[in-house]
Structure 1
Amino acid sequence: MAAVQTRSADTLLSYRVDTDPDPLTVSTPTSAPPSTLIFTVTAETADVACNSITFRIPIGAGENDLAELSGPDGVDAVPVGEGASNWSAPTKTLENNGAVLAVQLKPKMAPITLPKGKQITLRVAGFTVNRVEGEVRIGLTEVTTSGTKPITLDPVFKLPPGFYLRNLTPTPLLVENGATVDLTWQSGGGDNRTKYTMFWDRESETVSGESWTSPPLHQTTGFMLQALVTTSGGKPLTHTLTTTVTVAPQDLTTRDLTVNCTLDIGNGPGTATTNLGFSTSTGENGTRHLPSAMTDGDPNTYWWSADQPKANDWVRVDLGSERDITRVRFLFGIETGQYRLPACDLEYSTDGNAWSKYTSIPNGQETYEGTTSRKARYLRLKMTAEQTWRIAIRSFDIATLPRGAVITPSRADFNTPVTIVGDLVVKGKVRFEDDVTVAKEHSLTTGDITVHSDHTLKANWINATDGTKSITVRDNVAVDTDKTLTAGGGLTVTRGYGLRTAQIGGLQENEAVTIKSPLTAEKEFEVRGNLLAKGHATITEPTKVLRVRELRGPVKQSGETQDPPIDFSNGTIKVGKIDGLISGKIENKGTWSAPYVNYKVKADGIFVGENDSGRKVYVTLKDAGGNEVIKVKLEAWEEISLPVKGGWTVYRDVEGGVSANFKVRLFTFGQ
Structure 2
Amino acid sequence: MALVSPTRTTDTTAQEPLLNHALTTSPDPIKASPENPAEPEVTGELIITLSPKFGPVDVERFKVHVPAGAMASELATNLSAANARISLGGWATRLNDSDEFEFIPTATYETINPGTGITIQISQLPISRKVGTAPITVTERSREGGKGTFHNRATTFNIGKFPADFYMRDFNADPLVINNGGEVTLTWERSTNATYELLYGDTSLNVTNETTRKITNVKSDTTFYLRGTTSSDPNNPATRTLSAQVTVLQPDIEVRNLTVHGTTQLIGDTQTNNLRISAGHTLTADGPTVTNGTFTANGPIDTNETLTAHGLILAKASLAASSDFVVEASGKAVFKGSVGLFNTYAVEKLTVPIGGGSWRSPSHWPDGMALVHNLTDSQLVANVSTGADSYTMYLQSGEKTTFPLARHHTLSLRGQGGIGGDCQVFMIPLGDSEG
**TM-score where L is the length of structure 2:** 0.68
Query: Can you list the C-alpha shifts for 1:366-399, whole angstroms capped at 9, x where unaligned?
Result: xxxxxxxxxxxxxxxxxxxxxxxxxxxxxxxxx6
- Residue in 1 aligned with 2:425? none
Deviation at 1:220, TM superposition (A): 2.3
Deviation at 1:151, TM superposition (A): 4.3
- Residue in 2 aligned with 1:22? 28
- Separation (CA, whole Å) in 1 of partners of 2:42 and 2:294: 73
- Residue in 1 aligned with 2:338? 501
Query: Can you list the C-alpha shifts for 1:268-323, whole angstroms capped at 9, x where unaligned?
Result: xxxxxxxxxxxxxxxxxxxxxxxxxxxxxxxxxxxxxxxxxxxxxxxxxxxxxxxx
Deviation at 1:502, TM superposition (A): 2.5
Name the amino acid aligned to 1:75: A
- Separation (CA, whole Å) in 2 of partners of 1:183 and 1:132: 32
Instruction: Work out which of the residue numbers 381, 393, 397 in structure 2 matches 1:574.
Output: 393
Deviation at 1:116, TM superposition (A): 3.5
- Separation (CA, whole Å) in 2 of partners of 1:3 and 1:422: 39
**Structure 1 segment 28-177 matched on structure 2, within 5 A:** 28=34, 29=36, 32-69=41-78, 72=80, 74-80=81-87, 84-88=88-92, 90-92=93-95, 95=97, 100=99, 102-139=100-137, 142-144=140-142, 146-147=149-150, 149=152, 151=154, 153-177=156-180
- Separation (CA, whole Å) in 1 of partners of 2:185 and 2:128: 37
- Separation (CA, whole Å) in 1 of partners of 2:19 and 2:197: 34
Query: Can you list the C-alpha shifts for 1:585-640, whole angstroms capped at 9, x where unaligned?
Result: xxxxxxxxxxxxxxxxxxxxxxxxxxxxxxxxxxxxxxxxxxxxxxx978xxxxx3
Deviation at 1:204, TM superposition (A): 0.4
- Separation (CA, whole Å) in 1 of partners of 2:153 and 2:402: 95
Deviation at 1:2, TM superposition (A): 7.4
- Separation (CA, whole Å) in 1 of partners of 2:388 and 2:49: 90
Instruction: Work out which of the residue numbers 334, 345, 349 in structure 2 matches 1:524.
Output: 349
Q: 1:434 to 1:6 in 2, by over 3 A?
A: same
Q: For structure 1, list consecutive stretches of 5 or more residues without a partner in the other structure.
A: 265-398, 405-415, 462-467, 505-514, 530-544, 556-565, 577-631, 635-639, 645-671
Q: Which has the higher contact order (CA 8 A, sep 6+)?
A: 2
Instruction: Work out which of the residue numbers 449, 456, 459 in structure 1 matches 2:307.
Output: 459
Instruction: Work out which of the residue numbers 385, 396, 401 in structure 1 matches 2:263.
Output: 401
- Residue in 1 aligned with 2:400? 641
Q: 1:113 to 1:151 in 2, by over 3 A?
A: same
Query: Can you list the C-alpha shifts for 1:443-489, whole angstroms capped at 9, x where unaligned?
Result: 9665555437xxx321348xxxxxx989665531224xxx4446575
Query: Can you list the C-alpha shifts for 1:74-122, whole angstroms capped at 9, x where unaligned?
Result: 3222323xxx33434x3346x36xxx3x433223444222223423212
Name the amino acid aligned to 1:55: V
Aligned with 2:89: secondary structure?
Answer: helix
Query: Can you list the C-alpha shifts for 1:559-608, whole angstroms capped at 9, x where unaligned?
Result: xxxxxxx99977761257xxxxxxxxxxxxxxxxxxxxxxxxxxxxxxxx
Deviation at 1:223, TM superposition (A): 1.9
- Separation (CA, whole Å) in 1 of partners of 2:90 and 2:63: 17
Q: 1:182 to 1:400 in 2, by over 3 A?
A: farther
Query: Can you list the C-alpha shifts for 1:14-37, whole angstroms capped at 9, x where unaligned?
Result: 533211111111122567543111
Q: 1:478 to 1:66 in 2, by over 3 A?
A: same
Deviation at 1:250, TM superposition (A): 2.8
Contact 1:419–1:436 (Cα < 8 Å) also in 2: no
- Separation (CA, whole Å) in 1 of partners of 2:86 and 2:344: 86
- Separation (CA, whole Å) in 1 of partners of 2:130 and 2:170: 26
Q: 1:32 to 1:167 in 2, by over 3 A?
A: farther
**Structure 1 segment 55-454 matched on structure 2, within 5 A:** 55-69=64-78, 72=80, 74-80=81-87, 84-88=88-92, 90-92=93-95, 95=97, 100=99, 102-139=100-137, 142-144=140-142, 146-147=149-150, 149=152, 151=154, 153-188=156-191, 191=193, 194-207=194-207, 208-232=209-233, 234-251=235-252, 400-404=262-266, 416=267, 426=276, 431-438=283-290, 446=297, 448-451=299-302
Which is greater in Rg?
A: 1
- Separation (CA, whole Å) in 1 of partners of 2:222 and 2:276: 32
Q: 1:447 to 1:38 in 2, by over 3 A?
A: closer
Q: 1:430 to 1:423 in 2, by over 3 A?
A: farther
- Residue in 2 aligned with 1:476? 318
Q: 1:503 to 1:157 in 2, by over 3 A?
A: same
Contact 1:3–1:19 (Cα < 8 Å) also in 2: no
Q: 1:66 to 1:182 in 2, by over 3 A?
A: same
Deviation at 1:436, TM superposition (A): 2.5
Q: 1:442 to 1:459 in 2, by over 3 A?
A: farther
- Separation (CA, whole Å) in 1 of partners of 2:204 and 2:339: 55
Deviation at 1:66, TM superposition (A): 2.0
Aligned with 1:118: secondary structure?
Answer: coil
Contact 2:4–2:243 (Cα < 8 Å) also in 1: no
- Separation (CA, whole Å) in 1 of partners of 2:259 and 2:41: 59
Q: 1:63 to 1:523 in 2, by over 3 A?
A: same
Deviation at 1:403, TM superposition (A): 1.8
Deviation at 1:55, TM superposition (A): 2.4
**TM-score where L is the length of structure 1:** 0.46
Aligned with 2:361: secondary structure?
Answer: strand
Q: 1:224 to 1:549 in 2, by over 3 A?
A: same
Q: For structure 2, list consecutive stretches of 5 or more residues without a partner in the other structure.
A: 144-148, 370-384, 404-435
Contact 2:189–2:211 (Cα < 8 Å) also in 1: yes
- Separation (CA, whole Å) in 1 of partners of 2:104 and 2:135: 22
- Separation (CA, whole Å) in 2 of partners of 1:151 and 1:136: 16
**Structure 1 segment 532-611 matched on structure 2, within 5 A:** 547=361, 549-552=363-366, 573-575=392-394
Deviation at 1:224, TM superposition (A): 1.8
- Separation (CA, whole Å) in 1 of partners of 2:75 and 2:346: 85
Contact 1:422–1:438 (Cα < 8 Å) also in 2: no
Provide the aligned length of Structure 1 versus Structure 2: 366
Deviation at 1:62, TM superposition (A): 2.3
Q: 1:150 to 1:485 in 2, by over 3 A?
A: closer
Name the amino acid aligned to 2:239: T
**Percentage of pairs with the same residue:** 18
- Separation (CA, whole Å) in 1 of partners of 2:124 and 2:272: 70
- Residue in 1 aligned with 2:423? none
Q: 1:149 to 1:249 in 2, by over 3 A?
A: same
Aligned with 1:180: secondary structure?
Answer: strand
Q: What is the RMSD of the two structures over their aligned residues, measured on CA atoms?
A: 4.3
Contact 2:306–2:323 (Cα < 8 Å) also in 1: no
Deviation at 1:219, TM superposition (A): 2.5
- Separation (CA, whole Å) in 2 of partners of 1:247 and 1:172: 10
- Separation (CA, whole Å) in 1 of partners of 2:73 and 2:301: 71
